Amino acid sequence: MYTKLLGILALGALAFARGNRPQPQKTCNVPAIGGGEDDGPAILAAFKECSSDAKIVLDKYYVVDTLLLTKDLDNVEIELSGTVQYTPDIAKWSPQSLYLTYQNATTFWFLSGNNIHLFGGGTLDGNGQVWWDTFNNTHDSGTAGGSSTTFARPIPLTVGNATNVVVENIRQIGSPFWNNFVYQSTNVTYKNINIRSVSYSSSPTANSDGWDIYRSSFVTIRDSVVVNDDDCVSFKPNSTNIVVANMWCNGSHGVSVGSLGQYAGETDIVANVTVTNITMLNAQNGARIKVFGGNPSPTSTVGGGDGFVKNITFKDFFASNVDNPIIIDQCYSTAVDICAQFPSKLTISDVHYINVTGTSSGRDGSVVVDIECSDTCEDITATGTNLTSKDGTATYICKNIASTSELDFTCTAPA
Ligand SMILES: *[C@@H]1O[C@H](CO)[C@@H](O)[C@H](O)[C@H]1NC(C)=O
Ligand SMILES: *[C@@H]1O[C@H](CO)[C@@H](O)[C@H](O)[C@H]1NC(C)=O
Ligand SMILES: *[C@@H]1O[C@H](CO)[C@@H](O)[C@H](O)[C@H]1NC(C)=O
Ligand SMILES: *[C@@H]1O[C@H](CO)[C@@H](O)[C@H](O)[C@H]1NC(C)=O
Ligand SMILES: *[C@@H]1O[C@H](CO)[C@@H](O)[C@H](O)[C@H]1NC(C)=O
Ligand SMILES: *[C@@H]1O[C@H](CO)[C@@H](O)[C@H](O)[C@H]1NC(C)=O
Ligand SMILES: *[C@@H]1O[C@H](CO)[C@@H](O)[C@H](O)[C@H]1NC(C)=O
Ligand SMILES: *[C@@H]1O[C@H](CO)[C@@H](O)[C@H](O)[C@H]1NC(C)=O
Ligand SMILES: *[C@@H]1O[C@H](CO)[C@@H](O)[C@H](O)[C@H]1NC(C)=O
Ligand SMILES: *[C@@H]1O[C@H](CO)[C@@H](O)[C@H](O)[C@H]1NC(C)=O
Ligand SMILES: *[C@@H]1O[C@H](CO)[C@@H](O)[C@H](O)[C@H]1NC(C)=O
């Protein structure tokens, strides 16, 4: 009786130490065929065999030419210590990748279920160069430069329809599009992710966001390095309760709320976001909020949506050589005349800039802050701001900010 009780206590302690995950019952090791053959079917077979209370080991070099639709996982450990490389077969992937109902985004891998831990020091290789070079010549894109249905550029990893997920110690290279998509999920944490979307030809990388978050809450992204040419992290419609911390971003377009308000008739909410300890180098933007303007058409996909942005904090944000260290733009991807006639209906409030420091690139002369709201933005505050342009001067442009006295810099009206 005592041994039985001790056994139960030991099991309980073990479950506690492992964050209440029972030990995997079963392990599936995935072999690699080699010779460029498709390892997708073997990976899918392992996810089927080891779909609950189990561990999947991906320790080889895998070539993947098949959609990875790995759903209904329950308490699964995925050790990726090898490499998953997607084939650069555009004609095949464009129709075969999974369509994700937002901005025509599609994915190579839809990882879904409850209690998933993806880790192991391995690599996801999106073979993006082929996509970037093709895109450079076709310019086949959707609205605002996004994906098109005829030329899909799949996302290497989507955590979708998922709860309680941890992704850590993974390297991502050459994504054709966004690197990570958090889609309709709750309680997802990324740690120690190293992202590199860098082109080796004269074609730029396109839409190489580190992360996009959509219809998801309680998402944490931390301790990661991103070298790319689009948003470091982007909070798309209905991102709530988000923490982004300890990030090093080089070449990006900023840590961005939005774009929002793209679709007429839709309500977009981004709320309860904390962005802290960010190093933002050689970037287009730093702490950014971007919203489409309004639009007269009730079926517009280029602006006209409503909603709100509320309770956003950017803290300990260091910018170096950044075009717009702090920016709020409510005419994103919208022609000036259309935006003037049909202003954005999305409201912005409760935005706090604490200790945003560093230098702008000088691209916009001495402008280091440009916060322009369509309707009045309430409760915007700034403390500890220490930004200068290259020549040491600084100009702060503000429009429709209710409480300029709560900003620690002196506003100038836009020209
Ligand atoms: C989706 O793709 C189609 C076809 O390429 C394009 O017409 C449309 O504008 C795209 N939608 C968005 C929102 O980008
Ligand atoms: C994700 O969940 C939505 C809503 O339940 C469902 O309609 C959709 O088919 C799911 N997507 C996938 C790929 O399973
Ligand atoms: C979030 O997910 C982690 C990892 O699965 C888990 O340990 C934690 O308990 C979850 N938090 C909540 C509030 O469910
Ligand atoms: C990319 O496009 C530019 C401009 O059209 C062109 O000059 C360049 O050669 C293209 N690069 C590649 C690798 O195709
Ligand atoms: C801030 O982030 C950097 C990584 O960019 C990290 O090295 C440093 O320890 C973080 N600082 C704190 C106080 O967490
Ligand atoms: C950071 O970006 C700059 C400018 O693009 C580039 O010259 C530099 O090599 C990058 N550094 C790293 C470590 O990626
Ligand atoms: C965002 O959430 C609100 C409130 O739940 C909902 O009305 C709206 O349709 C959602 N928007 C999107 C894009 O999912
Ligand atoms: C933001 O957080 C507050 C406090 O936890 C909560 O009451 C509110 O519902 C959250 N807002 C959204 C849109 O999730
Ligand atoms: C603001 O968001 C943070 C999370 O980022 C949350 O902890 C806090 O409760 C929110 N405050 C309000 C007033 O909703
Ligand atoms: C302001 O931020 C910088 C860079 O993130 C950091 O080194 C410094 O300690 C912060 N200062 C205060 C007063 O928090
Ligand atoms: C602003 O930053 C510069 C450069 O890091 C520093 O020399 C200066 O002391 C800072 N000013 C304040 C008021 O913190």
Instruction: Categorize the per-residue pLDDT at 3 as very low, low, confident or very high, splitting at 50, 70 and 90.
Output: very low
| pLDDT at residue 30 is higher than 50 | yes
Does 386 contact ligand 10 (Cβ within 6 A)? no
Q: Ligand 9: which residue has its CA nearest to atom 3? A: 272
| pLDDT at residue 20 is higher than 80 | no
Mean pLDDT, residues 329-349:
97
User: Minimum-distance ligand to the CA of 361?
Assistant: 6
| pLDDT at residue 16 is higher than 80 | no
| pLDDT at residue 18 is higher than 60 | no
Q: Ligand 8: which residue has its CA nearest to atom 4? A: 272
Mean pLDDT, residues 32-58:
98
Distance separating alpha carbons of residues 368 and 252, to the nearest angstrom = 17
Taken in order of first residue, the domains within the chain and their CATH numbers are: 2-406 (2.160.20.10)
Q: Percentage helix, strand, coil, to 5, in the chain?
A: 15, 50, 35
Give the position, in ligand 2's atom list, of the atom nearest the Cα of 112. Answer: 14
The reported pLDDT for the residue numbered 10 is 40
| pLDDT at residue 65 is higher than 60 | yes
Mean pLDDT, residues 283-302:
97
Mean pLDDT, residues 34-59:
98
How much distance in Å is there from the Cα of 218 to the middle of ligand 9? Answer: 11
Length of the chain, please? Answer: 415
Does 320 contact ligand 10 (Cβ within 6 A)? no
Mean pLDDT, residues 192-206:
98
User: Minimum-distance ligand to the CA of 241?
Assistant: 9
The reported pLDDT for the residue numbered 14 is 40
Distance separating alpha carbons of residues 87 and 66, to the nearest angstrom = 9
Active site residue 253: yes
